Structure 1
Amino acid sequence: MKFASLILFLFLLLGQQVYAQTCCSGGVPLSNNLGLSNEGKGSFQVGINYDYNNLNTLNAGSTRLNDNSRQRITNSILTNIGYAFTDKFSVETLFTWVNQTRTITQFGNENFTETKGIGDAVILLKYTLPNVFKNNTTLNIGLGSKIPLGKSDIVSNQGIQLTADLQPGSGAFDGIGWLSLAKQLNFRPTATLSSSVTYRLTGINNSYLNNTSTYKFGNVLQANISYVDQFLVSKTLINPGLVLKYRKSTVDKIDNAIIPNTGGEWLFARAELTIHLSQNLRFTNKLEVPLYSYVDGTQLTPTTRFTTGFTYKFFKKQPLITNIK
């Protein structure tokens, strides 16, 4: 039965003219949107962001092919909620809603597929270690899980279950590890150099293809290094920044068999601009473009990504003021 399911799955892939799963560089941007700061005991933050991810570049290995007949677009609404129990211990959650479209244009015909709905969520427990190496250096450690809230069994208009990369959810719990290190620069106190690493150990969807197969997305490693500065413009604080992001995904598997055209490595550059509209409200914009990609086989890879949204801090720990007479 397992072997028959694998043959059926590969047949559906060919029948739908899909070059690749694109799950390793498309889908809901979970790892890309974690990392609310700990603002002190009792601080409570809510962030709402819109994320647009356009995949319109077809690669074979590291070679870009002259083929624009395939396009994937993912629109996501992301809600981050963070609460600090103490100055060091906090929790962050991420809830998602996702709309995905796939358009294939060949020989004058267009095949359009769309899915939408609640996506998977993330809960992350974080611990902050200030001045762990030197002054003005902060280390953050996080452990958590991705929770499969989204549907993973949506079918097409023809009654055929859509492939895993088009589903809003993954149908599996994942383990997530997160580590970040930030250093305020001595020669420019308004600037911060930081780096972060996120690793997602993906679980197995045991109910794939109407409970006839198992599906496992590839494990994902993501590493960032960023430089952020602060300026005062017309009495408004702004934080421009530049980020280099490396992402590696292993291959997907169905019934423990490797799925071709999945997995790869990417290097991105991202420009960021945060505007502090008030003491508690900030507006952030991010534009990300690929610098290099190497994919296994032939795959659609990201062309451009844009994220924008607001974060509001409802409460911040007030400093203790002591009058000395």
Structure 2
Amino acid sequence: MLLLCYGEPLWSQTCCSGGVPLSNNLGLPNEGKGSLHIGLNYDYNNLNTLNAGVEKLDDDSRLRVTNSILLNLGYAISDRVSFESLFTWVNQKRIISQFGNENLTTTKGIGDAVFLIKYAIPDILGTNSVLNVGLGTKVPLGKSDLTTAEGFQLIADLQPGSGAWDVLGWSSVSKGLSVRPSATISASLTYRLTGKNTSYLSDSSSYEFGNVFQANVGYTDQFLLFNTIFSPGLIFKYRKASFDKIDGSRLPNTGGEWIFIRPELSALLTPSITISSRLELPLYSYVDGTQLTPTLRFTAGISFVLKKKKLNILN
């Protein structure tokens, strides 16, 4: 009976897309030497779609909701070299409704953090273009050993933290369009090479989330309304996650591929304050085995840019 009770949440485990959205929130712009960029975002991720492969199952008995608070800090050491960090707080909820009974599991706490060093190469594709490359790490600040009220350790993707160090590679390229100076096309790539949590299940096992590759391509524009600059955009995202491993063995019902569409809108309230929002919807989902897969994600936030004042020296 104990094995069956513990096995139920294992069967209902989702892919790591249910966790903290680290890769989605990297890439603060370099605003010039000495500039400080601060971003505060709220992220809501709803997983209420049960898939077997590409087939959507007629089953809404499982729900995962992740609410995250994300703090971005970026500082430009020079016009080309910048440093970026991302700190997270996460609240996760899982509900399983079966045979008239409802099983609720919630966790909350500080999540993992990301530190990234970036280098910008301007005009690589002509004027009004820039290539950025970055290398960083995910630091396991969050707890990864939370337990249920009965004393069982929660599965890995319900923990606030991963318990492992990861290596991140990131790059982006953008190009302003000469035919429409207010428009920009852009693309970005992120690869996360995950490490192992060697203290999983009270130091009795090791757990490793699957490596994640993510690519974005999109179009943004600008228009003036009520003396405010608005920037609408449309982004297509491809995400591939490898299967997770426990003690070096492949874990069933993990990993998959997704294609999302993401309309965005931001408004430049002042030269240093921007508010933004985006809605992410799946266009295609393939999962290994049977998994919950994202239904929708919404993100909204505000960012501030502080720049050093330039002094005019008269001869």
Report TM bin, short chain.
Answer: over 0.9
- Correspondence for 1:161: 153
- Correspondence for 1:26: 18
Aligned residues: CA RMSD: 1.7
- Correspondence for 2:281: 289
Deviation at 1:263, TM superposition (A): 0.1
- Does residue 87 of the first structure (1) align with residue 79 of the second (2)? yes
Alpha-carbon spacing, 1:293–1:317, altered in 2? closer, same or farther (3 Å): farther
- Does residue 226 of the first structure (1) align with residue 205 of the second (2)? no
Distance 2:4 2:132 in 1: 46
Distance 2:189 2:86 in 1: 17
TM-score normalised by the chain length of structure 2 = 0.96
- Does residue 148 of the first structure (1) align with residue 140 of the second (2)? yes
CA contact (8 A) 1:42 1:317 kept: no
Partner SS, residue 18 of structure 2:
coil
- Correspondence for 2:228: 236
Distance 1:256 1:12 in 2: 24
- Correspondence for 1:35: 27
Q: 1:116 aligns with which of 108, 114, 126?
A: 108
Distance 1:194 1:124 in 2: 20
Deviation at 1:136, TM superposition (A): 1.5
Distance 1:41 1:211 in 2: 46
Q: After superposition, where does 1:1-325 map in structure 2 within 5 Å? A: 14-16=7-9, 18-23=11-16, 25-315=17-307, 318=310
Distance 1:322 1:287 in 2: 47
- Correspondence for 1:3: none
Deviation at 1:13, TM superposition (A): 5.2
Distance 1:69 1:13 in 2: 18
After superposition, what is the alpha-carbon deviation per residue over 1:232-272, rounded to whole angstroms, capped at 9, x for unaligned? Answer: 00110010000000000000000001100000000000010
Q: Supply the AA of the counterpart residue of 1:15.
A: E
Deviation at 1:14, TM superposition (A): 2.2
Alpha-carbon spacing, 1:244–1:153, altered in 2? closer, same or farther (3 Å): same
Distance 1:21 1:245 in 2: 20
Distance 1:111 1:316 in 2: 53
- Alignment length, in residue pairs? 314
Alpha-carbon spacing, 1:39–1:116, altered in 2? closer, same or farther (3 Å): same
Deviation at 1:323, TM superposition (A): 8.8
Gaps of 5+ in 1: 1-7
Q: Supply the AA of the counterpart residue of 2:299.
A: T
Give the percent of matched residue pairs that are identical in Structure 1 and Structure 2. Answer: 60
Q: Supply the AA of the counterpart residue of 2:146.
A: I
